[in-house]
Amino acid sequence: MDHVISGVAKFQREVFPGQKAAFKKLANGQNPEVLFITCSDSRIDPNLVTQTGPGDLFICRNAGNVVPPHSNETGGMTASIEFAVAALGVTHIIICGHSDCGAMKGAINTEALSSLPHVKEWLGHCRVATEVVKEKCGCDKLNAEDHLQLVTEENVVQQLQHIKTHPAVAAKLATGQVKLHGWFYNIETAEVTCYQEETGKFGPMDEKYAVELVSKHK
């Protein structure tokens, strides 16, 4: 904890003075372009990975980067998505999974979650991903690492489907005011791959693809 407290002092002493004008502007409101939904895993830093700063991303985090399908039962994710899209007017939504995801390990092996009943129930939102991979690939034919990556990627795809059920998102999608993106981040290599609807697979986010993606979704 000491390094966290000393970090605050360092920020106030060394970082803030050089960015005072930017923070003064942010103090009066926010105007993020992107809603970034990712896992709560401590190894994931959306601003670091995307090289963005305060005010650029509206970030929502939870175990497994889950987006529950819309229902009349209000929850933190539902309210945050509605606020980001309907009030802040974000134009892009990124759902980002990652390598070595503990939530996805739990979704694959729910028996191991008997002492974590709330986690087990929450990861029920990921069951479609595990079932799809099982049907398409057969778990007995996959090694553990490949199985985990396929489930993690499929979970991103399924959460993209879930977010389309949220009224604010559906309305903006219908008028082309919001675009959806699915990412997979490899912690060890820093590689980010993105879901390509044309192929139904995740592909590299090289410069050429990034330019095409941005121009297509402007």
Q: Assess contact for 62 and 90: CB atoms under 8 A.
A: no
Tell me the C-alpha distance between 133 and 143, whole Å. 13
39 is in an annotated binding site: yes
181 is in an annotated binding site: no
Q: Assess contact for 76 and 30: CB atoms under 8 A.
A: no
User: Quick one: which of 136, 145, 65 has its CA closest to 108?
Assistant: 145
How far apart, in Å, are the Cα atoms of 86 and each of 78, 79, 80, 121, 134? Answer: 12, 10, 10, 29, 37
Provide Rg for the chain, Cα atoms: 19
101 is in an annotated binding site: yes
- Binding site as annotated, residues for Zn(2+): 39, 41, 98, 101
- Binding site as annotated, residues: 39, 41, 98, 101
